[in-house]
Amino acid sequence: MAIQKNVKIKNRKARFEYEILDTYQAGIVLAGTEIKAIREGKASIAESFCEFHNSELFVINMTVQEYSHATYFNHNPKSERKLLLNRSELKKLEKEVKNSGLTIIPLVLYTNDKGIAKIQIALCKGKKDYDKRESIKDRDSKRDLSRIKKAFNN
């Protein structure tokens, strides 16, 4: 499989399941075969979340499939991966998570122009069922309005 120039892997459920309060850009500590697999687009952040261990932030449950051309040096697909943020950002996030019960969810896993893997994380609050129904209703009404506008313009 050919290596893509810019990889952008999204967590599509995150904006539906959670109310996003604040976003951050973070680097990831990866092994050599992990970054090669990400550059091939073989990663998923659909069911992942972030946790603190000893004042360090880790992404849990992120799947990076094994690199196809690796030997016995291949990585574990579901291992915890450390996120790199400024110390002040880490302290702020840890305080918010401990005090107000918010969660940290990865939104987008991407590679920048230099080929370095980055992850966009968000400080989120879980939505209730009625909030989700409201989101579905808004999305349906926007879709109907766009159909009407398109029919009117033609």
Q: What is the pLDDT of residue 4?
A: 58
SS3 for 89? helix
What single DSSP character describes residue 86?
Answer: -
- Tens of pLDDT, residues 9-68: 888 888 888 888 999 999 999 888 888 888 888 888 888 989 999 989 999 998 888 777
Q: What is the pLDDT of residue 84?
A: 92
- The C-alpha atoms of residue 38 and residue 65 are separated, in whole angstroms, by 8
Q: How many domains does the chain have?
A: 1
Beta strands in 49-114 (DSSP E): 49-53, 56-60, 63-64, 81-84, 103-111
- pLDDT at residue 80 above 90? no
- Asked, for residue 12, whether it belongs to a domain, the answer is yes
Q: What is the mean pLDDT of residues 147-153?
A: 87
- Asked, for residue 135, whether it belongs to a domain, the answer is no
Q: Which amino acid is at 140?
A: D
CATH number, domain at 100? 2.40.280.10
- Asked, for residue 154, whether it belongs to a domain, the answer is no
- pLDDT at residue 132 above 90? no
Domain that residue 43 falls in? 8-127
Q: What is the pLDDT of residue 119?
A: 93
Q: What is the pLDDT of residue 106?
A: 93
How many Cα atoms occupy the beta-carbon half-sphere of 102 within 13 Å?
21
Tell me which residue of 103, 130, 104, 107 sits closest to 14, measured CA to CA: 107
Structure tokens belonging to residue 32: 């050599």
- Asked, for residue 145, whether it belongs to a domain, the answer is no
pLDDT-derived band at 1 (thresholds 50, 70, 90) equals low
- Asked, for residue 116, whether it belongs to a domain, the answer is yes
- Tens of pLDDT, residues 103-118: 999 999 998 888 888 9
- Asked, for residue 63, whether it belongs to a domain, the answer is yes
Q: What is the pLDDT of residue 2?
A: 56
- Asked, for residue 148, whether it belongs to a domain, the answer is no
Structure tokens belonging to residue 38: 């990400």
CB atoms within 10 A of CB 127: 16
Which residue would you say has higher pLDDT here, 99 or 127? 99
- Asked, for residue 23, whether it belongs to a domain, the answer is yes
Q: What is the mean pLDDT of residues 118-131?
A: 86
pLDDT-derived band at 88 (thresholds 50, 70, 90) equals very high
